[in-house]
Amino acid sequence: MKFLRFGILCLLFMLSYPSGLSGGGTPKILLMNSDATLEKYEKAGNGFKKTLPHPVVEVRLDEKKWTLSRIEDLIYDDDPQLIYCIGTKAYLVADKYANKTERIFSSIINWMRLPRTESTFGVSNELHPGMQIMLFRHIFPHVKKIGVLYSTEYNSQWFAEAREQAQDMDVEIVGQAVSGKEKGTISSLKELLPRIDALWLISDPVIMSNSTSFTEVLKECDEKKTPVFSYHDAFVKYGATLILSVDHPTIGRQAAGIALEVLAGEKMEEKVQYPAGSHITLNLNKVKDYGVEYNADALASVNTIIE
């Protein structure tokens, strides 16, 4: 009888105690940020934390206290149910020490080159290429040949997808692969410019290896009066014509939404999603200076117009 009563008490204790990761208790969530000093990473992290209705343990890899051994101990001791990785460094650390843990990533250029498992989910760093091309055509209907400088290491798959989607919209994407040298970028650009109506400057660490290379690209395009389409609002002051930028807080909120679906055990048909939010900036001064024809009716869809 005493044994029976003891067994019942143990059962009641087990039922009343939070079941942690796999039951009805609060899940353990780890946010791993490659470099929280980068504004876009910080905004994504904040968007994630504000949206997720669960406590989050944050690891900032730019802080010296977070050594690899300490991170390994944290993952082993806490056994997180899900890890949100912001940036490539965070993703690779999580892949090394928590390969079987559910992972969500964001802010990674060409995520397709990274190791992935069935437990890997994410938000792409780039907006959907087809959507961007459609917008280019909507604002600039006479732009038919768009040039792209890209490295095969980071963006060959992205380029192939963009070129394929452009064909359906009567646009030709003219690509120029670039090696990891600054002079290679400029010489490739000079070869490309006579063949295009506009340059699509994408996020590529080889092309955008330093500020000198970036300013030289904008300078060459300005001299040839070739409009530049790009991805960051800051580029407007350097002479870019059209900017389609992702909204980083929205990326964090989107990652949180994915996290909630994963924690709920829902089946994810699309494991990696394109960013949901975007901001459009048009430098109308440059458009008029270059004499580029544009669709005035399309300006209603632009968030910010510089004139």
User: Is 90 exceeded by the pLDDT of residue 46?
Assistant: yes
| Three-class secondary structure of residue 168 per DSSP | coil
- Domain 129-230+278-306 sits in which CATH superfamily? Response regulator (3.40.50.2300)
φ/ψ of residue 72, rounded to 5:
-60, -45
Q: Which residues contact 18 (CB under 8 A, 6 or more apart)?
A: 24, 25, 26
pLDDT mean across residues, the chain: 88
Span between the terminal Cα atoms of the chain, in Å = 87
User: Is 80 exceeded by the pLDDT of residue 210?
Assistant: no
Distance in angstroms (rounded) separating the CA atoms of residues 39 and 18:
36
Placement of tokens 């009888």 in the chain: 1
Amino acid at 57: V
Give me the residues paired with residue 105 across strands.
85, 122
Two tokens, residue 305: 């117009």
Q: pLDDT tens digits for 83-97?
A: 999 999 999 999 999
Stretch 112-137: mean pLDDT: 92
Asked if residues 91 and 79 have their Cβ atoms less than 8 Å apart, the reply is: no
Distance in angstroms (rounded) separating the CA atoms of residues 307 and 303:
13
- According to the model, what pLDDT value does residue 8 have? 36
The CA-CA-CA angle for residues 82, 84, 86, to 5°, reads 165
Stretch 200-221: mean pLDDT: 85
- According to the model, what pLDDT value does residue 183 have? 60
- The side-by-side arrangement of strands in the sheet containing 304-306 is 172-177, 145-150, 198-200, 228-230, 242-246, 278-283, 304-306
Distance in angstroms (rounded) separating the CA atoms of residues 27 and 203:
35
Q: pLDDT tens digits for 130-177?
A: 999 999 999 999 999 999 999 888 888 889 999 999 998 999 999 988
Asked if residues 303 and 247 have their Cβ atoms less than 8 Å apart, the reply is: no
Q: How would residue 6 be classed by pLDDT, with cut points 50, 70 and 90?
A: very low
Which residue, 176, 172, 169, 133, is CA-closest to 151? 176
Stretch 115-123: mean pLDDT: 94
> Where in the chain is CATH 3.40.50.2300?
11-125+250-273, 129-230+278-306
User: Is 90 exceeded by the pLDDT of residue 12?
Assistant: no
CATH architecture designation of domain 11-125+250-273? 3-Layer(aba) Sandwich (3.40)
Q: How would residue 213 be classed by pLDDT, with cut points 50, 70 and 90?
A: confident
Q: pLDDT tens digits for 256-286?
A: 999 999 999 998 889 999 998 889 999 999 9
Q: Identify the weakest region by mean pLDDT among 45-59, 157-171, 284-298.
A: 157-171
